[in-house]
Amino acid sequence: MGRMISQLVLPFHLLLMLGVSLASLNDHRYNIGDEVPLFVNKVGPLNNPSETYQYYDLPFCQPGELLPEKESLGEVLNGDRLTNTLYQLKFGAEKDGVVLCHKKLDQNDVSKFRAAIIKDYYYQMYFDDLPFWGFVGKIEDELWTLDGKGPKYFLFKHVQFDVLYNGNQVIEIHALSDPSNVVDITEDIDLNITFTYNVRWNETSIPFKNRMARYSRALAKPVNHQIHWFSIINSIVISVLLMTFFAVSMMQRLKNDLRKWSSGDEEEDKEVGWKYLHGDVFRCPPNMPLLCAVIGAGTQLLTLFCCLFILAFLGVLYPYNHGTLLTSLVIIYTLTSAVAGYSSASFYSQFIETGWERSVTFSAVLFLGPFLLMQFFLNSVAVSFGATLAIPFGTILVIILVYTLIAIPLLALGGIIGNRRRSEFQAPSATKKCAREIPSLAWYRKTPGQMFLAGLLPFSAIVVELHQLYSTLWGYKISTLPGILFFMFIILILLTVTLSIGLTYIQLTVEDHEWWWRYVSIWMFLCTNHS
């Protein structure tokens, strides 16, 4: 119950989190012989980072009483399950051949370990808030076995911890398995195994503030920097070419219209192309509540991304900062509900005086509803497999209470403010009572064709960086360059705006005045597929 109460007040700790995250870097100081916190976290196959299980799901040496570490909301959503362990690593104290435990493995335990080795399982631990990994075992192929009867499966029963320190602070840690200190678990037989470990301490000159840099060394290689620069140059070239093409097309169109207008022929109809639509183009769009909800939800997501970039630039979000990213996502999405309510209500009230409540209600469920349905399905799968990504019932209850007690009131407050501060929409020309008939259009001028074109160009501009981002979300790569991500985000917005204006203009030139929904659909298609 105390854990649930602590999670309920998470939204009110946002400012504290922003201020303390950087200050906490100076708290990890120890004297010789002090116990340094070490926790086991999870295990999982190397080829699927999203599939993780609790560390003690495998029959490792367990302490007498399992004491799960209290975790933040973001850590729980991230699938972290930190638990105490029998390993004892004291600051500056070297150990050699320490017996962790004497373990008797029955056939079922041996089978679990062998299945984990076949799937190339790794384990993750945290030492002084530093994550590190090791492998459960190894496979010797048939070509490498002496008897030629392979493959054989070996379980690592010895771990060597190599720790680097600077002064009285821990800088780095590695877990190394001894390939010669293994036990053969190829056969389903009972085994008595003695698990041991060593601890080595070595001094380093790396400052404490740079101890997280090793997790991004792979990105510091020249090849990766070249890929990032290639991505940026590619995006700039596409953006410049697209904007140039758009500007030249617009200038040519306007020159033709002005030439017809100034031809001096009194009998010629002066209204050409899009000028026919001045009485229909500002007509109130259909399905107004849903349209305003789309605008409100999109504005909220845009605000969310901007806030995340600000946190990244402030140094609050960095690799392996325990669940801070997901905690920030939940908190910021909750607080920006007011933005969604304000945007949807203010736009709706420009056209219609009453009924703005429906648009605010739709904006509350337009994005969150499908997301929760998808999450419910994934969570059900995770629960059935016993994965750590399965969200506990208590955490689900906390999220529901936070959204009910904070997000919904903020959404309603934003809607009320947006309605009261509304400004009546002033169309530059009178709207006709009857809408003009739209001529039949070619397939490439209809909404699906335009959405495909509008999605293809921005995607080609950010595809390299998008691959890096997906590798960070569902792989082992770490994105430590928020500046490049922000630059690509700006390019994406510029391309989206340019394409939306250009495609809307092309639509109006063929006398299609129903531009509201197409403009919004193109915008949301780009945002949801690339952001």
pLDDT tens for each residue of the chain, 531 residues long: 344 334 433 433 433 333 333 333 346 889 999 999 999 999 999 888 788 999 999 999 999 889 998 888 888 888 889 999 999 999 999 999 899 999 999 999 999 999 999 999 999 999 998 889 999 999 887 655 555 566 889 999 999 999 999 989 999 999 998 888 899 998 888 899 999 999 999 999 999 888 877 776 544 444 455 666 776 777 777 777 777 877 787 777 777 766 766 655 544 444 555 666 666 777 777 788 888 898 899 889 989 989 988 888 887 776 666 678 888 889 999 999 999 999 999 888 888 888 889 999 999 998 888 999 999 998 999 999 889 888 988 889 989 999 999 999 999 999 999 888 877 777 666 666 676 777 777 776 777 777 777 777 777 777 777 777 776 666 655 555 677 778 888 888 888 777 777 777 777 777 776 777 766 655 554 554 444
**pLDDT of 320:** 63
Say if 81 falls within a structural domain: yes
Which of 197, 214, 231 marks a domain boundary? 214
**pLDDT of 226:** 63
**pLDDT of 279:** 65
Q: Please tell me whether residues 350 and 296 are part of one structural domain.
A: yes
Say if 201 falls within a structural domain: yes
Angstrom distance (rounded) from CA 207 to CA 51: 34
Q: Please tell me whether residues 461 and 379 are part of one structural domain.
A: no
Q: Please tell me whether residues 308 and 232 are part of one structural domain.
A: no
Q: Please tell me whether residues 137 and 206 are part of one structural domain.
A: yes
Q: Please tell me whether residues 52 and 101 are part of one structural domain.
A: yes
Which of 426, 459, 485 marks a domain boundary? 426
Say if 431 falls within a structural domain: no
The number of folded domains in the chain is 3
Kindly give, in sequence order, each residue whose CB lies less than 8 Å from that of residue 185, ignoring residues fewer than 6 positions away.
105, 110, 113, 114, 117, 137, 153, 154, 155, 191
Angstrom distance (rounded) from CA 487 to CA 502: 23
Angstrom distance (rounded) from CA 41 to CA 54: 7
Q: How far is CA 86 from the centre of its chain?
A: 34
- Angle 215-220-221 (CA atoms, 0-180°, nearest 5)? 120
Say if 20 falls within a structural domain: no
**pLDDT of 163:** 94
Predicted TM-score of the model (pTM)? 0.78
Kindly give, in sequence order, each residue whose CB lies less than 8 Å from that of residue 24, ignoring residues fewer than 6 positions away.
none
Q: Please tell me whether residues 185 and 110 are part of one structural domain.
A: yes
Pairing relationship of beta strands 121-127 and 38-45 according to DSSP bridges: antiparallel
Say if 11 falls within a structural domain: no
- Per the CB < 8 A criterion, the answer to whether 342 and 275 are in contact is no
**pLDDT of 17:** 37
- Per the CB < 8 A criterion, the answer to whether 300 and 337 are in contact is yes
Q: Please tell me whether residues 456 and 521 are part of one structural domain.
A: yes
Tokens 């739709």 correspond to: 362
Q: Please tell me whether residues 72 and 199 are part of one structural domain.
A: yes
Say if 316 falls within a structural domain: yes
Q: Please tell me whether residues 402 and 499 are part of one structural domain.
A: no
Say if 264 falls within a structural domain: no
Q: Please tell me whether residues 362 and 480 are part of one structural domain.
A: no
Which of 399, 426, 453 marks a domain boundary? 426
Angstrom distance (rounded) from CA 428 to CA 433: 16
Q: Please tell me whether residues 324 and 355 are part of one structural domain.
A: yes
Q: Please tell me whether residues 118 and 208 are part of one structural domain.
A: yes
Say if 75 falls within a structural domain: yes
Q: Which domain holds residue 511?
A: 220-257+271-282+436-530
